[in-house]
């Protein structure tokens, strides 16, 4: 084997590895977000958040339990919603930011409203409109009830139901 052949072979392995890693990264970036099963609690939360990000307000409120939604509609949600956010399933630890807490229990009435059967935890990251590349994150727990359909119950993020309930 000549020196030229040996030198060429020494470059083929790193070159092949570089092409393989580059291809895997490209596939990961291009495949986009994961689509969750729409009949699961996680899929219901995803449907709700995607509808908000696409400004499909009526589609977003369609997954909130009607008894919790009360007199609210898509226009009420639009007043409180921000569309410049990303969401990730689970709780991510982060520095700073704001963690929202529910201050008002709107479920106290003559008849009890449906209670949550399960929770879905999401970390929502808001982008900074100032263009400085910063933003803030908040940890949100969505409560869902199973009534032949996974419904969002309570006052789901962005916490607007308290403001329009009769």
Render pLDDT for 19-45 as a digit per residue (tens, 0 to 9). 665 555 555 444 556 788 888 899 999
Whether residue 147 sits in one domain with residue 122? yes
pLDDT digits (tens, 9 = 90+) for 84-118: 888 888 765 544 333 333 333 444 445 566 777 88
Whether residue 66 sits in one domain with residue 27? no
**% of the chain surpassing 70 pLDDT:** 60
**Can you give the pLDDT at residue 39?**
87
Domain that holds residue 65: 41-163
Whether residue 67 sits in one domain with residue 27? no
Residues contacting 58, CB < 8 A, separation 6+: 73, 74
- Coarse DSSP helix, strand, coil percentages of the chain, rounded to the nearest 5 percent: 35, 20, 45
- In this prediction the pTM is 0.68
Whether residue 8 sits in one domain with residue 56? no
Whether residue 151 sits in one domain with residue 114? yes
**Can you give the pLDDT at residue 29?**
47
The string over 89-116, giving b where at least 16 C-beta atoms fall within 10 Å of a residue's C-beta and e elsewhere, is eeeeeeeeeeeeeeeeeeeeeeeebbeb
Q: What angle do CA 67, 38, 156 make, to 5 degrees?
A: 40
Whether residue 106 sits in one domain with residue 24? no
Over residues 43-66, mean pLDDT:
93
Whether residue 46 sits in one domain with residue 23? no
């Amino acid at each position: 084997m000549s020196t030229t052949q040996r030198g060429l072979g020494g470059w083929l392995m790193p070159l092949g590895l570089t092409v393989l890693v580059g291809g895997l990264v490209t596939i990961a970036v291009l495949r986009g977000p994961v689509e969750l099963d729409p009949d699961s609690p996680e899929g219901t939360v995803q449907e709700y958040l995607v509808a908000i990000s696409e400004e499909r307000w009526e589609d977003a409120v369609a997954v909130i339990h009607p008894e919790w939604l009360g007199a609210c509609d898509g226009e009420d949600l639009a007043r409180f919603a921000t569309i410049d956010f990303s969401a990730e399933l689970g709780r991510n630890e982060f520095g700073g930011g704001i963690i929202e807490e529910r201050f008002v229990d709107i479920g106290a009435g003559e008849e009890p409203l449906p209670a949550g059967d399960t929770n879905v935890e999401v970390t929502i990251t808001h982008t900074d409109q100032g263009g400085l590349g910063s933003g803030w994150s908040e940890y949100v727990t969505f409560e869902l009830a199973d009534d032949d359909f996974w419904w969002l119950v309570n006052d789901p993020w962005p916490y607007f139901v308290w403001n329009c309930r009769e």
